[in-house]
């Protein structure tokens, strides 16, 4: 299982009003583990008042920059991103897992490829890593970036992108689309929708020449763009997506477990929620696993290995107490948040409320 390693924050640069770029340095012995591929992300963890939060942020550095950098945009109400933007200082340490993610295509130094990238807001971070890497490692390839933002002031890496354009003359073109700022050409104002995509393909981009398209942004934008790319003849294999990894709620919820201990009773009333439907049944407290009881009551509960290894049967205990016999798959923070492997759970309390939907 991937492990966390400490990274030292060596620099913090304010990129926009609500985004920072962190430069991070692994310990010498972890350097190999943090060698990354363009477009990958790091998952950080931090304890907020007893709740561990994990958040993933994309690396924005290119392979040839010799450093590890991530961009963090502050999300309204987001505990981690607010903390990183307001409290984090150079010299601090962050716990991170080694780079993950598959938002890239293999590099081919001799290839003359034509790449197309779509970024929405902070979705630029992995694309910046890809753009820098492709421009330096594939000298004959070119990149067209369509970059959507609310307004000029919120454009991350605006200057860096301009510099790249000048450095690699004629190989990087950038189309800025601003939602709430009028520009001279209508095409560049508003949101990316199907009509705008058609215009882009009519006026700026030759769909037939595109080898690979990268999209990173919010869900509706990804759908619109992917749909349009397919309509203009791109195959699924040519379209690479990266959904914002931190699509989860910003704050870890306090767990609602009320612990009712009882030793005398020999049966447990179990309520199990699956796909929005809750079923209640009674099961013996004789060492029978909750998953087996649910299956015996004709619930199509998810499971695979039944050995506490794969985590397919993960569920959340909302009320009551269980004992988990074996756990090789859930991490401590998940267990603290109330998650259990239902194939390994024996009820201890008289009442148990369990959900596969949370």
Partner 1 sequence: MTNEMPIGDYLAQGGRLTSPENAPPRYRAELLRLMSSFVDSELAGSAGFAAAINWAPGIRERIAASRITLEKADHAERVLDLMEGFGTDKALYERAHDWAARGPREGHVDPRRQGGDMRLSVFHYPLTGWTDAVVMNVLMGSATLHAVGELAACSYQPLAEVLRGVLPRERRHMELGLEGLERLAATERGAAAASVAYWMPRVAETFGPAGSDRFDRLRAMGLRHTDNETLRQRWRAETAATLSALKLA
Report, in Å, the least distance between residue 258 CB and partner 1: 21
Single out the segment in contact with partner 1 by CB under 8 A; choices: 83-91, 132-140, 222-230, 255-263: 222-230
Q: How far apart are CA 109 and CA 48, in angstroms?
A: 45
Where does this chain touch partner 1 (CB under 8 A) — which range of 133-141, 160-168, 221-229, 280-288? 221-229
Q: 252 is written with which tokens?
A: 């870890």
Report, in Å, the least distance between residue 56 CB and partner 1: 5
Told to check if 43 binds partner 1 by CB under 8 A, we report yes
The rounded distance, in Å, linking the Cα atoms of 305 and 299 is 17
Q: Single out the segment in contact with partner 1 by CB under 8 A; choices: 63-71, 78-86, 197-205, 306-314.
A: 306-314
Q: Least Å distance between CB 302 and partner 1? A: 3
Binding residues for partner 1 restricted to 146-165, rule: CB under 8 A: 148-150
Rounded to whole angstroms, the Cα distance separating 84 from 89 reads 9
| Residue among 56, 81, 228, 344 that touches partner 1 (CB under 8 A) | 56
x-or-dash pattern for partner 1, window 114-153, by CB under 8 A?
A: ------xx-x------------------------xxx---
Within 57-96, the residues that bind partner 1 by CB under 8 A are: none
Q: Which residue in this structure is represented by tokens 């301009």?
A: 162
> Which tokens is 339 given?
């998650």
Give the long-range contacts of residues 105-108, CB within 8 A, separation 24 or more. 105/212, 105/240, 107/133, 107/134, 107/137, 107/138, 108/138
Shorter beta-carbon distance to partner 1: residue 202 or 328: 328
- Give 99's DSSP letter: P
Token pair of 276 as six digits: 């929005």
Question: What do you get for the CA distance between the two ends of the chain, in Å?
Answer: 23
8 A C-beta contact, residue 179 and residue 151: yes
Among 33, 257, 305, 348, binds partner 1 (CB under 8 A): 305
Q: Which two tokens stand for residue 132?
A: 């820098």
Q: Would you say 125 or 149 has its CB closer to partner 1?
A: 149
Closest CA to 230 of 207, 200, 214, 206: 207
Enumerate residues 6+ apart whose C-beta is below 8 A from 31. Answer: none
Q: How far is the CB of 253 from partner 1 (least distance, A)?
A: 13
Residue with tokens 């987001």: 78
Rounded to whole angstroms, the Cα distance separating 24 from 12 reads 9
Residues that bind partner 1 (CB under 8 A): 1-2, 41, 43, 54, 56, 100-103, 120-121, 123, 148-150, 179, 191, 217-223, 226-227, 236-237, 240-243, 245-248, 274-275, 300, 302-307, 309-314, 316, 328-331, 334, 343, 356-358
């Amino acid at each position: 299982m991937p492990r966390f390693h400490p990274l030292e924050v060596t620099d913090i640069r304010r990129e926009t009003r609500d985004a920072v770029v962190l430069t991070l340095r692994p310990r010498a012995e972890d350097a190999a583990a943090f060698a990354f591929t363009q477009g990958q992300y790091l998952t950080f963890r931090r304890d907020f008042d007893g709740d561990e939060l994990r958040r993933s942020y994309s690396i924005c550095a290119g392979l040839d920059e010799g450093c590890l950098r991530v961009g963090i945009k502050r999300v309204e109400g987001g505990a981690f991103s607010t903390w990183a933007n307001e409290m984090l200082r150079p010299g601090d340490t962050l716990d991170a897992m080694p780079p993950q993610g598959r938002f890239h295509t293999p590099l081919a130094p001799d290839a003359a490829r034509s790449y197309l990238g779509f970024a929405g807001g902070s979705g630029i971070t992995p694309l910046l890593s890809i753009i820098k890497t492709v421009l330096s490692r594939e000298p004959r390839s070119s990149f067209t970036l369509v970059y959507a933002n609310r307004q000029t002031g919120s454009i991350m890496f605006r200057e860096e992108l301009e510099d790249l354009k000048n450095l690699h003359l004629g190989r990087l073109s950038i189309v800025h689309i601003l939602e709430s700022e009028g520009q001279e050409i209508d095409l560049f104002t508003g949101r990316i929708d199907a009509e705008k995509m058609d215009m882009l393909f009519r006026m700026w981009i030759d769909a037939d020449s595109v080898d690979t398209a990268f999209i990173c942004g919010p869900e509706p934008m990804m759908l619109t763009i992917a749909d349009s790319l397919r309509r203009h003849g791109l195959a699924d294999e040519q379209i690479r997506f990266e959904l914002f990894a931190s699509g989860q709620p910003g704050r870890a919820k306090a767990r609602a477990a009320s612990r009712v201990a009882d030793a005398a009773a020999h049966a447990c009333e179990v309520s199990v929620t699956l796909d929005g439907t809750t079923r209640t049944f009674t099961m013996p407290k004789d060492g029978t696993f909750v998953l087996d009881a649910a299956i015996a009551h004709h619930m199509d509960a998810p499971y695979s290995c039944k050995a506490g290894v794969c985590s397919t049967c993960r569920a959340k205990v909302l009320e009551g107490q269980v004992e988990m016999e074996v756990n090789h798959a859930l991490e401590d923070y998940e267990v603290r948040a109330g998650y259990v492997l239902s194939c390994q759970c024996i009820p201890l309390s008289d009442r148990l409320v369990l959900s596969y939907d949370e």
